[in-house]
Amino acid sequence: MSATTPLLDPFGYCPHCGSARFVGNNAQSKRCLDCGLIYYINPKAAVVALITNDEGDILVCRRAKEPARGTLDLPGGFTDLDETAEEAVAREVREETALTVVATRYLFSLPNLYTYGGLTVPTMDLFFECRVADTRGLEAHDDVAAARFMKRDEIDPADFGLASIRRGIARILGRAAE
């Protein structure tokens, strides 16, 4: 039996045949000794929006739900099936802020671990600079308790609850990650 990432520990049974003979295959996978399935734990794609207003202030949100409820965040979320990353970031921005994305530009990506419902999932967070049609319609919805534009010098990366967002906002601001 090979050592696997602890992220695979909750998976004690083969998701294909239900066998308990689901063992470590390598650092990122388990295999079923009965049906032969090899199950890899790969990152789930997530998107993050960097939206600025005409003054260069950054749109920040306050998280309404766990994980990291009450901390700062940037608009974003998980991609859906049959959706591009660009479509996902536009959808998430619309769902969370009521703003309409009219253009996107890929910036960078950061790995993250996202714990929800007791399960930790690896993610690959894709950061996009997003231009919106109009910032006047800004409203907090969905996973967002509040949303507002903040001046860059007022933003403290330590106030962001998710590790990848904390590292990403520090990078955007040209500061060392906390």
Instruction: Locate the domains of the chain by residue range.
Output: 6-40, 44-173
Single out the residue of 70, 78, 35, 85 nearest to residue 144, CA to CA: 70
Q: 177 pLDDT exceeds 80?
A: no
CATH code of 44-173, in short, is 3.90.79.10
Q: Is 40 helix (H, G, I), strand (E, B) or coil?
A: strand
Q: What is residue 52's DSSP assignment? A: B
Q: Which two tokens stand for residue 48?
A: 């993050």
Single out the residue of 124, 133, 154, 114 nearest to residue 51, CA to CA: 133
Query: pLDDT tens-digit profile of 28-54?
Result: 999 999 999 999 999 999 999 999 999
CB-based contacts of 9, cutoff 8 Å, min separation 6: none
Q: How sure is the predictor about 1, in pLDDT bands with cuts at 50, 70 and 90? A: very low
- pLDDT value of position 3: 78
